[in-house]
A and B are shown apart, each in its own frame.
Chain A
Amino acid sequence: MQAHKSNNPNVRRALQVFAVLFWPVTAALAGPPGQPSSSTSVFAPLSTPANSIFRLSLFVLAVTAAIFVVVASLLVYSAIKFRKRANDDGREPPQVYGSNQLELAWTVIPVLIVVVLFLTTARVIHGVQDARQPPGAIEVTVVGHQFWWEYRYPQYGFVTANELHVPVSDPQHPTPTFLTLLSADTDHSFWLPRLAGKTDLIPNHPNHMWIDPHQTGLYLGQCAQYCGTQHAKMLLRVYVEPRADFDHWVHAQRQPAGTNDPADASAAEGRRVFESTACINCHEVAGTVANGRFGPDLTHLMTRDTIASGAVPNTPENLRIWIQNPDAFKPGSLMPAMNLSDQDFDRLTTYLLTLH
């Protein structure tokens, strides 16, 4: 959006007044640029869609704050000024039934405000929603599941889960990421407050959105449409990387796992457990017999920082607890507790730890 370069001095003044009035609040919310107090603040945008929304928000907030100041002052003034006094003579005040001039004024002025707000808003809607996909954009298909995220990279031919990697987009040479949003079951919503507004993932109703992160780093968010028991722990993690790192990551993700049999016997034994139990009904490990699609792809599980859709760090202990009793981290998650012997749990965990 290129609106609000603020050629209009009144608009600029209103924004300045607003910024001064609400400085403590905005400062608390946004913090210094690049170092917000909250990793999910909508007031610390680092991508074009989020930024144009942020600027529109400031404008709308300024207008509504101005309306509030005017109307609340009138209200407070009349409430105090026209209170019944102690020395009241007991007579009724003059009865006034209305005023056509006033009614006209407080109809026309709000209508004008609405026109301005509407046009400004429509411009941002168009700018964000109707943006064309430039050549060289990264395409990712996001599939919402109860209660995790599947990421498909059709340009590169691999699938991963829960941790999205995208390249940073230099405004001079933009490499935005265009997302196609699908759902495998119920409605979900994809919300990364610092990168873009949310868009829902609805079964039978493909949606689209785009991001062009201007800074590298880890961006957080979470599912924003109630999708069932564990809606709260359907967390979003987006890793924005320099292009070279991203390409390196893509190259690694495209390799099948388990092409070399694990060196140590315990891991080989673990792979046997994995491939002979219900694990393979839901999970895929590329290059093995495990080709389930119901749960997250585990081919490169150990390249991820977290498990259970961002609920806990990916450590050997957490992995073991998760397999043994998923309810310990995410009560109500659809992963069943596997009834295996302690020895098999150890072997299985050892095998998973080899999935780099």
Chain B
Amino acid sequence: MSSDAIPIPSSIRLSKEAEGTWLETLHSWVTTVDHKKLGLMYIGYALLFLVIAGIEAIIMRIQLAVPHAHFVSPQVFNRMFTMHGTTMIFFVAMPILFGFANYLVPLMIGARDMAFPRLNAWSFWMTAFGGLLLYFSLIGGDGLYGAGSAPDVGWWAYAPLTSPAFSKGHSTDFWTIALLVSGFGSIGTAINILATIISMRCRGMTLGKMPLLAWLNLVMSGMVLLAIGPLTAAQMMLMIDRYLGGHFFDTQAGGSATIWMHFFWIFGHPEVYILIIPAFAFVSEIVPVFSRKAIFGYPVMVAATVGIGFVSMSVWAHHMFTIGMASYSNAFFVLTTMAVGVPTGIKIFNWIGTMWGGKIRYGLPMLFCLGFLFQFLIAGLTGIILSAAPVDWQLGNSYFVVAHFHYVIVGGILFALFGAFYYWYPKMTGKMLDETLGKWHFWLFLIGFHLTFDFMHIPGFLGMPRRIYTYEPGRSWEIWNLIVTLGMVFQAAAVLCFVVNLVRSYFRGVPAGNDPWDAWTLEWATSSPPPAYNFAVIPEVKSRRPLWDIKHPEDPDWKYE
């Protein structure tokens, strides 16, 4: 566009009468196809499940604080870790990231909505329905045979533990159908994001001028399309086994337990990158703005992301080093797994390159991003340790692995997400999040995170396997487990600060204005919150940082890109 400012729509304040009754408001949310409302619904729904799955984690940690505890029965504990894992991956992490993608992608590429608004609503409700179905198992899982209520097969549900002989009642069915249904929602969202980014960009925004967030969500959506398919297929086969006399995974009738593992992890490993790539996207937007510099090595960042997308499709069997694959198969997956560390490392270097020579402002979004960078570095390195198959023969399925992937998911993804909340909440609500509560949130969570997940590595070295409801005294595991449980108290307090902050700031927060961070991408060129149509006039861009060009007409980016 020319160096004229983008016209900003005036924020719309409806009078009390014009807002309608609460029923009309509810109706407008339930029937909405607006990407922003759907995005917020994804986020709200995911936060609800975050609290539920967090409570499940608390129950497990109380049980494991001391050896031979009797806080919950083994049956309850096994349901808790199954529900905690399934919920966190499928009904917290994925929907919350889809929520941000939904909200931000159209705004950042200068579009008025997603490509398929109705599909968008359908996807959200499928995901939401899947989550409700999973939790309905608490009531409906008994079925005709009695036995289970909530699923207790672990979040990867290895065969043949899921066969009718070992999983009576309907708990496994609820797990299967919940994932099947929400999987359809995920595929719908992936198609939608792909179509939106490919066909809805504003004038001037070539692929090479897209914000990195759009690029990363493009790659993420492509991966969802490829990865969810095998999971869906496996769930269907499992249901055929359970109800139509199939023998895909029925080992008693010659089926294969390892086939399930392959199907699950062909989904399961790309899934990790499906979750971390949107987190990379947040960091790639926040770090430049708070360092006051353009992202370092934009084309390399894009290439590294695409590289991660490809290579991560061929690493799945590193979850299966202990199942007795041939030595050359093990070696192949060692190589691919170590190789995926290279583009990931490149990204870390480029973020540091972005900070280098900048003037870093330590607002809350940047604090969380700094936490992300530090912790994701460690998470990546423990991943390299585990990628050496023989080391994995010792540490796989131990608490070292549990610590490793929580480092990725909590230390990496969740920290980046918190950063994203502090960064985009002003855009979404028009109010700033409270700084003091936010600092409490950050420091409490940082302390709690490190208490819990740093010390969780050690019982893994000492031979403590995961998924045990209790453990034997005298193996030097006691002190570490106690510390791990202690850290959880800090994390719970921090999340409480966060939730209070979200609610309180909505009503009493300082008005944010349109562009509180002095940022450079298009979402800051409209009002906060944006109107339903996003932009008064569809913007036109000349560079990756259209608002930089407007703010610095003497030194615009398009001269250099």
Contacts and interface: CB of A to CB of B under 8 A. Distances in A.
Interface of A: 29, 37-43, 50, 52-53, 56-57, 60-61, 63-64, 67-68, 71-72, 74-75, 78-79, 82-85, 88, 92-99, 102-103, 106-107, 110-111, 114, 117-118, 120-122, 124-126, 128-130, 146, 181, 185-187, 189, 191, 193, 196-200, 202-205, 207-208, 220-233, 235, 331-332
Contact of A185 (B160, B254, B557): B160
Given A186-B161, A205-B324, A227-B161, A98 B300 contact: yes
B69 to A, nearest CB: 11
B161 A222 contact: no
A72 B294 contact: no
B393 A53 contact: yes
B475 A39 contact: yes
A29 B462 contact: yes
Contacts of B297: 97-99, 102-103
A93 B74 contact: no
A40 B475 contact: yes
Given A93-B292, A110-B346, A130-B327, 14 more contacts: A40-B462, A61-B385, A82-B355, A88-B359, A92-B359, A95-B557, A96-B293, A98-B297, A114-B338, A118-B335, A121-B334, A121-B389, A222-B468, A226-B78
A92 B556 CA distance: 13
A85 B158 CA distance: 55
A41 B462 contact: yes
B325 to A, nearest CB: 9
A197 B322 contact: yes
B346 A103 contact: yes
A227 B211 CA distance: 46
Contacts of A85: 359
Contacts of B356: 78, 82, 96
Among B298, B300, B362, find the residue whose CB has the most chain A CB atoms closer than 10 A.
Answer: B300
30 contacts: A37-B476, A39-B474, A39-B475, A42-B394, A56-B388, A57-B394, A68-B378, A71-B352, A75-B370, A75-B377, A93-B291, A93-B357, A99-B296, A106-B349, A107-B342, A110-B342, A110-B346, A185-B165, A185-B166, A187-B160, A197-B322, A198-B322, A202-B251, A202-B324, A204-B254, A205-B324, A224-B396, A224-B465, A226-B466, A227-B161
Contacts of B348: 71
B345 A110 contact: yes
B288 to A, nearest CB: 10
B477 A38 contact: yes
A92 B555 CA distance: 11
Given A78-B352, A114-B341, A118-B335, A95 B324 contact: no
A114 B342 contact: yes
B262 interface: no
A79 B339 contact: no
A111 B341 CA distance: 9
B334 A41 contact: no
Given A186-B166, A202-B324, A230-B74, A93 B293 contact: yes
B361 A128 contact: no
B10 interface: no
B107 interface: no
B32 interface: no
A313 to B, nearest CB: 12
B360 A79 contact: yes
A200 B284 CA distance: 41
A195 to B, nearest CB: 11
Interface residues of B, number: 98
Contacts of B477: 38
Given A43-B461, A126-B327, A229-B78, A197 B298 contact: no
A155 B537 CA distance: 84
Nearest to A332: B74
A183 B484 CA distance: 34
A97 B296 contact: yes
Contacts, number: 288
Contacts of B166: 146, 185-186, 228
A50 B394 CA distance: 8
Given A60-B385, A68-B378, A224-B397, A202 B298 contact: no
Contacts of A224: 322, 396-398, 465
Given A125-B330, A204-B256, A226 B355 contact: no
Contact of A60 (B391, B465, B555): B391
Contacts of B468: 222, 231-232
Nearest to B348: A71
Closest 8 CB pairs of A and B: A197-B393, A40-B463, A232-B468, A207-B324, A203-B251, A98-B297, A38-B476, A193-B463
B374 interface: yes
A93 B359 contact: yes
B353 interface: yes
B345 to A, nearest CB: 5
A96 B357 contact: yes
Contact of B467 (A106, A117, A220, A231): A231
Contact of A129 (B154, B327, B374, B466): B327
Nearest to A67: B381
A83 B367 CA distance: 12
Nearest to A111: B342
B377 to A, nearest CB: 6
B20 interface: no
Contacts of A185: 160, 165-166
A62 to B, nearest CB: 11
Contacts of B436: none
B323 interface: yes
A245 to B, nearest CB: 25
B560 interface: yes
Nearest to B343: A107
Nearest to B301: A98
Contacts of A92: 292, 359, 552
